[in-house]
Amino acid sequence: MGRLDGRIAWVTGAGTGIGAATAERFAAEGATVVITGRRREPLEAVADRIRAAGGTAHVRPADLTKAAQVAEVAGGIAREFGRLDVLVSNAGLNIVERDWKRLSPAGIDELIGGNLTSAFYVAQAVLPIMREQGGGVMIHTASMAGRNIGLMSGPGYVAAKHGVVAMSHTINQAECINGIRSTAFCPGEVNTEILKKRPNPLSQQELDEMLQPADCADMILYVATLPPHVTMNEVWLTPTRNRGYVRALGVKL
């Protein structure tokens, strides 16, 4: 018997990385997962792995920076399943031209839209479903960049992820009376595709020392299975060999 038997979960940014690992982990625990991202092909690959392992997955591609597309997926979940127990709002992005010297208006729009506006659209779309059913769990993938000010991730990404953290806390303030629980998940460096947007390539050893998507999926599953009277408001998860700490110690990376 799985820890998520009978639950309906929507995972965004589910084609790769943390989202894909979480969707597969949830399905293995009995959840029916709805997976969303911009590209259908990676989503279908994730769904195929879930189904091959005996799980249930529904592919719903969408551009989450478009409110109408978000509303369409959320409305479809409500119509088809009648409820939504867990939202994992994981979609996010970064760009190479992220520093102030190279940042353009188009880059600003991409960063804020892909990391913050999309998160607001998704939360706003599912709140009515969770209110009507009397509860639900939202887990928003922010970042340690959403808690610490620094230049490595770029000002747009840092600002957007700070916004995601603030958004999550306001959901708890407004919706706790409706049984809705919101968690800001703030991982440190994770070995995912977003690292390909780093201006400086990373070594395989550096990638291996980072958090892996499965580590994040385990934490997200833990949050999703907490009892209804418990809220994990915010959680940090970082690599033991935290490159920021190592750099501060003056040790060569």
Render pLDDT for 57-104 as a digit per residue (tens, 0 to 9). 999 999 999 999 999 999 999 999 999 999 999 999 999 999 999 999
In whole angstroms, what is the distance from residue 11 CA to residue 22 CA? 8
Q: Which residues pair with 141 in a beta bridge?
A: 185
Confidence (pLDDT) at 240: 93
For 140-160, what is the mean pLDDT?
95
Q: pLDDT band at residue 246, thresholds of 50, 70 and 90?
A: confident
| pLDDT of residue 10 exceeding 70 | yes
In whole angstroms, what is the distance from residue 250 CA to residue 253 CA? 9
In whole angstroms, what is the distance from residue 53 CA to residue 31 CA? 13
List, by residue number, the catalytic residues: 157
Confidence (pLDDT) at 17: 96
Q: Which amino acid is at 26?
A: F
pTM recorded for the entire structure: 0.94
| pLDDT of residue 252 exceeding 80 | no
Q: Which residues pair with 57 in a beta bridge?
A: 33
With beta carbons less than 8 A apart as the criterion, state whether 31 and 83 touch.
Answer: no
CATH superfamily of 8-248: NAD(P)-binding Rossmann-like Domain (3.40.50.720)
Q: Which amino acid is at 72?
A: E
Confidence (pLDDT) at 253: 67
Q: What DSSP string describes 178-220? A: GTEEEEEEEE--B-SGGGGG-SS---HHHHHHSB-HHHHHHHH
Site of tokens 């916004």: 163
For 175-188, what is the mean pLDDT?
98
Q: Where are the beta strands (DSSP E) in the chain?
A: 8-12, 32-36, 56-59, 86-89, 136-141, 180-187, 234-237
Confidence (pLDDT) at 197: 67
Phi/psi of residue 184, each to 5°? -95, 115
